[in-house]
Amino acid sequence: MYEQGQGIARSDADAAKWYRKAAEQGLADAAFALGRMYEKGVGVSKNAAEAIQWYSKAAAQGSESAVNALRELKSPATQK
């Protein structure tokens, strides 16, 4: 809700906080969303290592989106 501003003021930092809480409880979609935030530097400092960590957690839980994001992040083309 914070990320989209649905019924509440939009706040990327608050969105990251709540995604983290949900991801730590095992929600793959939240881990993927948090990984995306770290990858892009939205609501948190840009950090590829953190993005990979959260994408990996989501991928381990069956998130195909996270698998694709990991593949993209680790590809040689994105390392430049």
Report pLDDT for 80: 47
45-59 pLDDT, tens digit each: 999 999 999 999 999
Residue 67 counted as domain residue: yes
Percent of the chain scoring above 90 in pLDDT: 75
**How far is it, in rounded angstroms, from Cα 27 to Cα 49?**
20
63 occurs within a structural domain: yes
Place of tokens 């906080």: 17
Within 10 A of 4 (CB to CB), how many other CB atoms are there? 9
- What are the tokens at 39? 């990858």
Q: What is the pLDDT of residue 7?
A: 75
For residue 43, being part of any structural domain is answered with yes
Which residues form the domain of 64?
12-79
pTM (2 decimals)? 0.86
CATH number at residue 66: 1.25.40.10
Residue 42 has pLDDT above 60, yes or no: yes
Helix segments in the chain, DSSP class H:
12-24, 28-40, 48-60, 64-74
> How many domains does one find in the chain?
1
Q: pLDDT tens digit string along 22-33?
A: 999 999 999 999
Classify residue 3: in a domain, yes or no: no
